[in-house]
Amino acid sequence: MKLFAQILISSLIVFILFSCKKDAENEDSQFHSLRGIVQPVFGAGNNLYLDSIYTTQEGYDIQFKEIQFFVQDIKFGSLQLVKTALFDYRSSGVDLFRLQGTTDNLDSIVTLKLGIDSISNHQNPSTFHVDNLLHTFNSSDMYWDTNKGYFFVKIEALVDTVQDGTPLFDHSVIYHVGLDANIQSLSFNNFYWSPQGVEDVLPLYLDMQAFLAGPQVIDVKIDSVSQSDVGQEILTAKVMGNFAAAIAPF
């Protein structure tokens, strides 16, 4: 009987210790967060700020007014961490996503899609749950209609194309680009999170100087408008390809 009582007490101690360990792990997960950020830059080490003046390789002065884009299926290996995220530099700063969790067991290979999958892209936005970023309340300024779907990338800027020393930003640049055929896949190998207190940060940058420079040069004086309409296919594809190539880990 005494032996049975000792075994029972020992079992209870083990159970309590295990439960405390699990509670501690759950608490760590509950109060720890994972944050994805995208820092726009204009050339290496030069943070980009909306409404500030930068100079293109053609010598034009440019002010970026809006930088927005959708990404989907952010995965670490085969594990999907985020289904849909919307970057809006003016409204949300550098934040791409934030959620509770830890980096335990996350792969170092990151993949994501720039754009919206073809099924969701043509679904009526009002039919999504109100908490979904694709719902009308959350992305009405990133949507055409059920035929064309969502803007995958939205860039708006003003340009001074006359180099006479007088600032006159009277040339509009509008890239509202999307369409199913233009979704882009990105992959980053050997990626590491950046620990910052109670959160781990997934740091990316978006180089808008590189976006304009290539892989295919975008001359904002000539290539100034794309609404992804018929006849604008070449510029639409160029904008999407260059934008995807301009995103990289810090």
- pLDDT over threshold 90, residue 250: no
Say yes or no: 15 and 72 in one domain: no
Within 8 A by CB and 6+ apart from 192, the residues are 108
Residue 134 or residue 1, greater confidence: 134
Range of the domain at 18: 1-31
Q: Are 216 and 239 in contact (CB under 8 A)?
A: no
Say yes or no: 38 and 25 in one domain: no
Q: Which residues pair with 67 in a beta bridge?
A: 155
Say yes or no: 15 and 130 in one domain: no
Q: Which residues pair with 226 in a beta bridge?
A: 175
Rounded to whole angstroms, how far apart are CA atoms 32 and 250?
Answer: 22
- Select from 250, 241, 246, 153 the least CA-distant residue to 204: 250
Say yes or no: 18 and 116 in one domain: no
Say yes or no: 19 and 86 in one domain: no
Say yes or no: 40 and 142 in one domain: yes
Say yes or no: 100 and 212 in one domain: yes
pLDDT at 6: 54
Say yes or no: 27 and 110 in one domain: no
Say yes or no: 27 and 43 in one domain: no
Quick: pLDDT tens for 174-227.
999 999 999 999 999 988 899 999 999 999 999 999 999 989 999 999 999 999
Say yes or no: 4 and 98 in one domain: no
Q: What would the mean pLDDT of 59-88 be, rounded to a whole number? A: 96
Say yes or no: 157 and 231 in one domain: yes
Query: What is the CA angle 112-113-116, rounded to 5?
Result: 140
How are beta strands 225-226 and 171-178 bridged, if at all?
parallel
Say yes or no: 82 and 201 in one domain: yes
Residue 28 or residue 102, greater confidence: 102
pLDDT band at 2 (very low <50, low <70, confident <90, very high): low
Q: What would the mean pLDDT of 41-61 be, rounded to a whole number? A: 96
> How many independent structural domains does the chain possess?
2
Residue percentage of the chain with pLDDT more than 70? 88
